[in-house]
A and B are shown apart, each in its own frame.
Chain A
Amino acid sequence: MSTVELDRVSYAYRGGGLAVRDVSLRIEAGEVVAMLGPNGAGKSTTLLLLLGMLPPRTGTAKLFGGPVARAVADGRVGAMPQAGGVPPRSSVRDLLEFLHAVYPRPMPVAEAIALADLDGLAGRTVERLSGGQQQRLRFAMAVIGRPDLLILDEPTAALDVQSRRAFWASIRGYAAKGRTILFSTHYLEEADDNADRIVVLDRGRVIADGTATSVKRMVAVRTVSVAEREDGQDGGFERLPGVVAVARRDGRVVLTTTDSDATVLALAAAGLLRDLEVVGAGLEDAFLTLTGNRSGV
């Protein structure tokens, strides 16, 4: 029995194309999985389908081998949606005490406060919390029921670097208790740093699924760069063999390529070879290759 089981799930919003197409996904107990993709890739929709908040057009979603609604009613799922969800004029303690009473096997309120790093803020109303503090409250609200499966939709969007780091420490603290976690992000380093496994989504499809290393290995991506011509009369880089992305920075044209040999030979043939540099690429470039995103880094 898998913790999460999506079987060929599709969904279309009214008046739009398919937001999610034929997505199949299995997550086993104890895995920490990142769902990675650009905006509009279908991450949030997939998570909504998985939480039973949208009915799949085709296919089935199961949690813990049964219906999603049962898993939610049993308090086995905790979720942190992307925004909102905190009612004004309630204090941190009010909300956590309420949820403590609602879940069958909750952790003590004090433990949730400590886990989410909310010490000293229990009496504060939500209006008087900073953005980062509100986000941590939403995390505490998602974990207080000790869910076996925790779903976080872009949990660190709109946080600064420092609070982001603290936030991931909290999430890893929860994962260390053997819980299953699925989070979505478009920050590649977050996926790389915090997940055992990365599922890459693009235009509603799963286009890669594996460890960070294997996702990178799937495409042997390299970066080839040459100096720009002063007259700016160079172009057509995107049509060279192997090139999947073109960016210009600091007077250089930076090409992401899946076949650096062919790209370099073509550059030479076109007379564009000036101050050549070829380096191995990071996950960022692998990601661009996978999603065919040509808008640059």
Chain B
Amino acid sequence: MFAYVRLELRRLGRTPGLLIFVVLMPLLNYLLFTNLHGLTGQDKDVAATYTMVSMAGYGAIGALLNYASGVVVDRSIGWMRQLRLTPLSPVRVVVGKGLTAMATAIVPVVALCAAAVAVNGVRLGAGQWLAIVPLLWFGSLPFALLGLGMGYLATAQTVQPLNLLVYLGMSIVGGLWLPLDVMPGWVAAVGRWLPTHAYADMSWQVAFGGAPTGTDVLTLTAWLVAFTALAVAGFRRSVRSTAGL
């Protein structure tokens, strides 16, 4: 399995485009949102910290969804089938894919935190950093499973638009672009229950001196269970059905 992760990391290393994209886009958003006065409806200092968390999460989710849904390509070119002819079991392949996905998520998290400190002078206690970085990193696990689920269930033609729709939709409605407080009431009412919101809120709480709430943890756990079920269903279907040799 680790040999597979190594292969996948090498392949990723030859696709710098993906990582540049998932770092650059949130970074540009971050600079924009925190330097356009009043856009977020928050004080500049608050916005600098708040949006750091939002955009780090936004980047991590983008990396996970993009990379993990790439399973659809591995399927369509027959690579998954070729792997099934080796002693490496399909379960190890999917776990390896998930581990590699998680490795990609740390990149935008670290980049955004570093930019916040360097550009906007964000200062947090050591304990807060030690909580926020792992929360943003490991808390993004449900999105790795969502990406895998889409990669197993979608087709090569549908995966890109589906990905974009899910990614932007959940990010915007979940309050990652602009805080839910400045959104229309009905959007905020829906957004509160999205995994994107629960995921980012854990770190927002820590960043402003609190701790993740029970609601956040329960909401994110529920989505984790749902996305795992989706990924398992897609994975099973893919293993059962086989196209021509």
Residues in chain B near residue A53, CB distance under 8 A: 81, 84-85, 242, 245
Separation in Å of the A116 CB from the closest CB of chain B? Answer: 16
* Beta-carbon contacts under 8 Å, B61-84 to A: 73-74, 77-79, 81-82, 84
Tell me if A84 counts as interface (CB < 8 A to partner B).
Answer: yes
Stretch binding the partner chain, chosen from A22-30, A75-83, A158-166, A265-273: A75-83
Candidates A47, A54, A95; contact of B7 at CB < 8 Å: A95
How far apart sit A44 and B243, CA to CA, in the bound complex (Å)?
11
Closest-CB distance, B244 to chain A (whole angstroms): 6
Pick the residue among B11, B88, B245 that contacts A81 (CB under 8 A): B245
**A94 near B10 (CB under 8 angstroms)?**
yes
In the complex, B215 has a CB within 8 A of chain A:
no
**A37 interface residue (CB < 8 Å to B):** no
- Given the interface pairs A54-B242, A74-B87, A104-B87, the reply to whether A89 lies near B15 with Cβ below 8 Å is yes
- Determine if B7 and A98 form an interchain contact, defined as CB atoms under 8 angstroms apart: yes
Q: Are A86 and B4 within 8 A (Cβ)? A: no
* Cα distance, A164 to B241, chains bound together (Å): 32
Which chain B residue has the least Cβ–Cβ distance from A43? B245
CB <8 Å contact, B4 and A98: yes
Which residues on B are within 8 Å of A, measured CB to CB? 3-4, 6-7, 10-11, 14-15, 73-74, 77-79, 81-82, 84-89, 242, 244-245
> A86-B79, A88-B11, A98-B7 provided; 15 other pairs, C-beta below 8 A?
A44-B244, A44-B245, A45-B244, A47-B245, A48-B244, A48-B245, A51-B85, A81-B78, A86-B82, A94-B7, A97-B6, A102-B4, A102-B86, A102-B88, A125-B14
Closest 8 CB pairs of A and B: A84-B78, A101-B3, A85-B82, A98-B7, A89-B14, A85-B78, A75-B87, A89-B11
